[in-house]
Chain A
Amino acid sequence: MQTHQYDVVIVGAGGAGMRAALESSTRVRTAVISKLYPTRSHTGAAQGGMCAALANVEEDNWEWHTFDTVKGGDYLVDQDAAEVMAKEAIDAVLDLEKMGLPFNRTPEGKIDQRRFGGHTRNHGEAAVRRSCYAADRTGHMILQTLYQQCVKNDVEFFNEFYVLDLLVDHDLAAGHVPDGEEVNVSGVVAYELATGEIHVFQAKSVVLATGGAGKIYKTTSNAHTLTGDGMALAYRRGIPLEDMEFFQFHPTGLAGLGILLSEAARGEGGILRNSEGERFMERYAPTIKDLAPRDIVARSMANEVREGRGAGPNKDYVLLDLTHLEPAHIDAKLPDITEFARTYLGIEPYTEPVPVYPTAHYAMGGIPTNIEAEVLRNSTDVIRGLYAAGEVACVSVHGSNRLGTNSLLDINVFGKRAGISAAAYASTASFVELPENPAATVVAGLEEIRTRPDGDRVADIRKALQETMDLNAQVFRTSESLTQALEDIKALHKRFRRVSVQDKSKMFNTDLLEAVELGFLLDIAETVVVGALNRDESRGGHFREDFPDRDDKNYMRHTMAYRRPLPVKGHRLWGTDGDGDHKGSFAHTTVFDDYQLVLGSKPVTMTRYQPMERKY
């Protein structure tokens, strides 16, 4: 075992992690720990752009962007955070340009902008050109540019190191810690893939920037490595996860494969058609049609298929039609995604429409933070020294449905804020003492799996999880389907306790790490399903067929999912805590074998905008 000491440790080297590192590393001693080489991170797969009201091509302002973000999230957005994001978007884009990001340009040489779903002029009048882009590889350019700057600034990376535990001085999942009591982070425990060695990192500040958890689903645009690690680490320490039931299904995944085709395809004029050739979005969103927000488009597509108007031999997808666009225009603006259609489906988008179907894409929920990126352990108390940014976090700028381009924006704005906050805290705070044997839990867990001679295969359990999630917790959900999913997850948790791997070696044992990641996926899936089961309404990305309407009276609050110990006789765990947050529609407890998932809620911050019916 090796021990390291840094002022700031950043976990994850995608957009949010590297943006944080650029701030933190110039101020205090910083390490970035990543399970991948930084340039492999999934930020690189983002395509369409990053919105900012630069007004380079038409009138625009940050207030319209704020409104669109709030409305797009079906009013579950914390409006103070959305305003911060929309305001700071402008500098975030300019920062990237100054770092060298090769944006597409207007005839005047300024950063070009294009339309994107849900982004409108003057509170919904018409689509606005707000997305700053580099062809359909904006995420690739952001990831490369941030990595280039990290090389320039000599940022210290620990690549192919898996963080497997978060160290805090009070384990909230193990016992009762009253509200208001100080809780501090002290570091992380990591596993070095190449050698199998354990490393303990003591840190004054820890920034979680591990990205999403798309692999809880079978059909997903997400990388194999997006297994919710950071969320699960927090959850296992009793830090709540917020709004996990809100998962975004991107409308245009390549049918059967889930590979993402950017919304930019529709921003550039692409049209969705059913088997009859009808532009069906005209019926669902008469004003902005194909550029309606993703939740609406995904549901409309699923509905077309359900009502028998799907295309193809099994009538199970719809068509993305680009054939009316000039091939030269497609080549200039959408080169990568058209190549995906050619490579993977053998479809020529110049002349043939592309088969598409919704694909699990983005977790709106995550680790709750405030606008300084500080992690919350309930509605009000922060954990000192702990920060989160990007998809792993829930600040909440996306509410119940994220608008396209706002994730690349989120990682830049809140990644930067997390880096600044973490460094500022570390420059005044002192190290918190590490627990005795800080790596004991991790080592025991790993050894148990690695040496178990026989048992269930990782791939079998994972497949069963992904299938039940696709079947029961996808675009359309009911109490019944979700109950089924929860039962399945509980059963899979039991099987996971008997999981075994075939690779018994210590060096570069990816078999073992896939088992660990499966454990994270199971934990994340349970929070998604329990949150969804409790929310008897439909809002944004969460659609309950048995409760098809939004219910502001009972559910205009953020869900908080807490892992807590099973009740001990005569001990009232929730006596005076949470300020009534465990009452009302959110008074819900689900018992698992070794712990219980206690739901609570957190108020939504509203500043300028009162909830209205969401029409496009």
Chain B
Amino acid sequence: MTATLDRAAAPQNAAAGAIPSFDVTLKIRRYLPDDGAGAPEPYWDEFTVRAHGTDRVLDALHKVKWEEDGSLTFRRSCAHGVCGSDAMRINGRNRLACKTLLKDLDPSKPIIVEPIKGLPVIKDLVVDMEPFFASYREIMPFLITTGNEPTKERLQSAEQRERFDDTTKCILCAACTSSCPVFWTDGQYFGPAAIVNAHRFIFDSRDEGGAQRLEILNDKEGVWRCRTTFNCTEACPRGIEVTKAIQEVKRAMITRAF
């Protein structure tokens, strides 16, 4: 099904006014869940919508859903890259739809939108996130301390705080994990996101659970499965140096220094 929206190309506002409007075609991987009538097959669907200069892929998806085909299904919430709902595969790369400006892609060619890989597809661009969160929960993603709690705050120097700053930025969108070729072929692998969140605590000076977490990640499905392809680093919408964090966890496992 191909549909074109004929909408007046009125410049929306001054900020957008500098960049002209343009037509963009989305080629979207669709999949309808099994309603008991037989196993459905995934298929491609194309829509052409009018986009404004500051529009993102999420805006284009909304235009399709709101004006064209209400059954197109995807997750989204904050729409500015902090909630992690709308990770998807856009032109073959994992990105957040709300952080990817259409004008930064090549609008002269169709924009290919698919669900992230390695997790079961539920409907269209929606995947089952449960296996992803299960790995996250396994690495004990919470501060572990012993002894009596201090009356006031635990002290931590700015340098100690800086040591794990990068990995605190994770929004659990799964862009990294679902870009990892190891994860695609072996769903048992913890995946980059879980290791990033382990890193966030292993290198926190206040935490005393590092050894336990390293033990968990020393598992055959743990950090050693990483083949340093850097897909995860490239995919991270928060700019976390994911591969570096994984390497640091590997090194900590060998040296036991963290």
Contacts and interface: CB of A to CB of B under 8 A. Distances in A.
Interface in B122-140: 122-123, 126, 129, 133, 136-137, 140
B153 A111 contact: yes
A575 B112 CA distance: 64
A459 B81 CA distance: 23
A313 B150 CA distance: 56
Nearest to A96: B153
A355 B164 CA distance: 33
A40 interface: yes
B188 interface: no
B70 A40 contact: no
Interface string B144-161: 000001101111111011
Contacts of A45: 78, 80, 82-83
Nearest to B141: A148
Given A100-B143, A257-B54, A457-B66, A40 B157 contact: no
A574 interface: no
Contacts of B32: 505
B4 to A, nearest CB: 18
Chain B: number of interface residues, binned into ranges: 35 or more
B17 interface: yes
A246 B126 CA distance: 37
Contact of A508 (B80, B123, B161, B170): B123
B15 A317 contact: yes
Interface string B12-47: 111111100000000000001101000000000000
Given A40-B85, A108-B155, A503-B70, A312 B15 contact: yes
Contacts of A344: 54, 56, 80, 101
A347 B216 CA distance: 44
B93 interface: no
Contacts of B133: 37
Contact of B14 (A37, A259, A317, A501): A317
Contacts of A340: 80-81
B172 interface: yes
Contact of A137 (B65, B169, B201): B169
B13 A314 contact: yes
B73 interface: yes
A459 B17 CA distance: 24
A508 B73 CA distance: 8
Contacts of B99: 343
Interface string A29-67: 000000011011110110000000000000000000000
Contact of A152 (B142, B164, B165, B172): B142
A149 interface: yes
A314 B117 CA distance: 44
Contacts of A507: 33, 35, 122-123
Contacts of A40: 75, 77-78, 83-85
B168 interface: yes
B82 A511 contact: no
Contacts of A470: none
B171 interface: yes
A255 B14 contact: yes
Contacts of A458: 66, 70
B6 interface: no
Given A100-B143, A151-B137, A501-B70, A140 B13 contact: no
Interface residues of A, number: 66
B250 interface: no
Contact of A223 (B35, B79, B158): B79
Contacts of A317: 14-15
A284 to B, nearest CB: 23
A49 to B, nearest CB: 15
Nearest to B74: A510
A313 B33 contact: no
A316 B80 contact: no
A41 B56 CA distance: 21
A570 interface: no
Contacts of A257: 15, 54
Contacts of A223: 77-79, 83
A508 B16 CA distance: 34
Nearest to B159: A105
A501 B73 CA distance: 13
Contact of A102 (B73, B79, B165): B165
A359 to B, nearest CB: 11
Interface string B173-217: 000000000000000000000000000010010110000000000
A100 B81 contact: no
Nearest to A99: B143
A44 B82 contact: yes
A94 B153 contact: yes
A453 B136 CA distance: 43
Instruction: Give the 8 A-B residue pairs with the shortest CB-CB distance, closest first.
Output: A100-B143, A459-B66, A502-B70, A109-B155, A503-B71, A314-B14, A256-B13, A312-B14
Interface of A: 36-37, 39-42, 44-45, 94, 97-100, 102-105, 107-111, 134, 137, 140-141, 144, 148-149, 151-152, 194, 223-225, 254-257, 259-260, 312-317, 336, 340, 343-345, 355, 457-459, 501-503, 505-511
11 contacts: A39-B171, A100-B204, A111-B153, A144-B170, A224-B78, A313-B14, A313-B18, A315-B14, A344-B101, A501-B70, A510-B74
